[in-house]
């Protein structure tokens, strides 16, 4: 029992994922700054932001709306992100093997942070938050099908294996899935799904800094906002890790850990460059992009898998 | 300086309130966020919601209509919040000080932590003011 608590809270759970995600979020901001020829924030900036929100700032509760739901929602988000991260990282780091079907559980848990933001923002009773929440819902409906198809294609490619451990082992004994045409197509679709899940710029219409004034988070201040930041940091680490695990060979022990870190940094670099070179889409364009083009891409990939390519 | 205070000073998020401004100060404030001056290297971000703000940046002369909005914003901001008055109008009222609709410089309405005078202040002056504010106490 104690060892599971250690897994959940410290390594590879909450603490480790939060630190890794915060460093990745600094990396993202630094790359953004370098792209715009700026100097960028110092290394510990995400930690300053988090501790400032957690320890210094006051919490303001909305006058209209449900206060308890408003306060519980960010905790639900952190829980969902940490739990999904645990199921991803335990097989990835070769600590525990997981169970049959855990990739489906991961798929559901990864949706929990987005749902909790929707619940929390609707509980705040702010009209801009409601607009943001409705956009987030439409975005979830758009990208979830594509993400599910990506996961299904990976399961099909690994020979009907439903657990992370076997999928990673299949790639390590054979070759990584990304080394084939269908794998590249799945990687493209997966990167765009992650972009939408993290609400990075082409798909950030739910926060929309300039038009909705950070939309779904508009009413959050102080410690609840720190919890949202924490969930975002964790998601920023585990989603690229998930992609690396299901398509890019996972992690081999020993010196290959550096190779694993480079793969994660490469995926995050790709996400950051996409976010810096694209304008925000309208929700209709984003839905069309996922429901038509990305689904088509994954279906083509599935057909190619059926032919063994 | 304790740990909490240190984190606060290293991560100031700015909310910008423009009163009845002639827009020169607004432009100079936006200049601070451009690649040449880059306030993000001090951890300063421009945020869209007063709930996330640590610094309330006020510029322009505050007339009678602005006063209620400014007070409302100050009440809704999560404490502790620092208030910075920018430009001659924000600090003293400037050429509008004796106007009919003028409702007083910012420090008559809400407590002000830093004044950055100038018409408009240069971005260097604003950065100097912000750095002094971050090193205060």
Distance between CA atoms of A67 and B34, rounded to whole angstroms?
A: 39
Q: In the prediction, which pLDDT does B119 show?
A: 85
Residues of chain A with pLDDT under 70: none
Residue B5 has pLDDT above 90, yes or no: no
Q: How far is B100 from chain A (nearest CA, A)?
A: 33
The correct answer on CATH 3.40.50.12280 for the domain covering B3-134 is yes
User: Which are the contacts of A224, defined by CB distance < 8 A and separation ≥ 6?
Assistant: A59, A70, A71, A74, A120
Q: In the prediction, which pLDDT does A24 show?
A: 92
User: Which are the contacts of B28, defined by CB distance < 8 A and separation ≥ 6?
Assistant: B120, B121, B122, B123, B126
Domain residue spans of chain B: 3-134
Q: In the prediction, which pLDDT does A219 show?
A: 85
Residues of A in contact with B17 (CB under 8 A): none
Q: Report the predicted TM-score, pTM, of the whole model to 2 decimal places.
A: 0.90
What ipTM was reported for this prediction? 0.86
Q: What percent of chain B clears pLDDT 70, i.e. is strictly above it?
A: 98
User: Which are the contacts of A275, defined by CB distance < 8 A and separation ≥ 6?
Assistant: A32, A195, A200, A201, A202
Whether B40 and A33 lie within 8 Å, measured CB to CB: yes
**Predicted confidence (pLDDT) per residue in B81-123, tens digit:** 889 888 888 888 888 888 888 887 888 888 888 888 888 888 8
Domain coverage including residue A90: 2-306
Whether A33 and B38 lie within 8 Å, measured CB to CB: yes
Residue B137 has pLDDT above 70, yes or no: no
Distance between CA atoms of A29 and B113, rounded to whole angstroms?
A: 29
Which of B7, B50, B56 is the mutation pick for testing A, counting most A CBs within 10 A?
Answer: B7
Cβ atoms of residues A91 and A245 within 8 Å? yes
Number of domains within chain A:
1
Q: Which of B133, B127, B128, B131 is nearest to B114 (CA)?
A: B133
């Amino acid at each position: 029992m104690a060892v599971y608590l250690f897994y959940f809270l410290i390594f590879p759970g909450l603490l480790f994922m939060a630190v890794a995600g915060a460093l990745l979020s600094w990396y993202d901001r630094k790359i953004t700054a370098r792209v715009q020829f700026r100097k960028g924030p110092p290394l510990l900036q995400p930690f300053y932001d988090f501790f400032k929100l957690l320890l210094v700032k006051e919490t303001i509760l909305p006058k209209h709306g449900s206060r308890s739901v408003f306060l519980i929602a960010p905790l639900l988000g952190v829980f969902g992100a940490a739990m999904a991260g645990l199921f991803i990282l335990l097989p990835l780091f070769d600590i525990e093997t997981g169970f049959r079907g855990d990739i489906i559980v991961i798929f559901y848990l990864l949706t929990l942070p987005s749902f909790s933001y929707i619940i929390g923002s609707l509980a705040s009773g702010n009209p801009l938050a409601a607009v943001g929440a409705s956009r987030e819902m439409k975005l979830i409906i758009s990208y979830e099908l594509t993400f599910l198809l990506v996961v299904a294609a990976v399961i099909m490619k690994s020979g009907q294996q439903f657990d992370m451990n076997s999928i990673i082992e299949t790639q390590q004994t054979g070759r990584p899935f990304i080394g084939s045409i269908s794998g590249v197509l799945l990687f493209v679709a997966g990167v765009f799904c992650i972009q939408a899940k993290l609400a990075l710029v082409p798909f950030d219409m739910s926060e929309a800094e300039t038009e909705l004034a950070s939309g779904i988070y508009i009413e959050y201040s102080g410690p609840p906002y720190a919890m949202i930041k924490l969930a975002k940091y964790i998601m920023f680490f585990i989603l690229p890790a998930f992609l690396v695990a299901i398509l890019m060979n996972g992690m081999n022990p020993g010196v290959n850990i550096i190779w694993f870190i480079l793969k994660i940094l490469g995926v995050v670099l790709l996400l950051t460059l996409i976010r810096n070179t694209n304008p925000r889409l309208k929700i209709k364009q984003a839905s069309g992009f996922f429901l038509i083009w990305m689904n088509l891409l994954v279906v083509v990939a599935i057909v190619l898998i059926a032919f063994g390519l | 300086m304790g740990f909490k205070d240190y984190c606060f000073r290293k991560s100031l998020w700015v909310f910008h309130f423009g009163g009845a401004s002639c827009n020169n100060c607004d432009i100079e404030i936006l200049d601070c966020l451009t690649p040449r001056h880059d306030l993000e290297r001090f951890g300063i971000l421009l945020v869209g919601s007063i709930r996330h703000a640590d610094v309330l940046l006020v510029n322009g002369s505050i007339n009678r209509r602005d006063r209620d909005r400014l007070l409302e914003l100050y009440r809704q901001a999560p404490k502790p919040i620092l208030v910075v008055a920018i430009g001659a109008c924000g600090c003293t009222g400037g050429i509008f000080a004796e106007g009919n609709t003028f409702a007083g410089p910012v420090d008559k309405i809400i407590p002000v932590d830093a004044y950055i005078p100038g018409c408009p202040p240069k971005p260097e002056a604003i950065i100097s003011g912000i750095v002094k504010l971050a090193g205060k106490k």
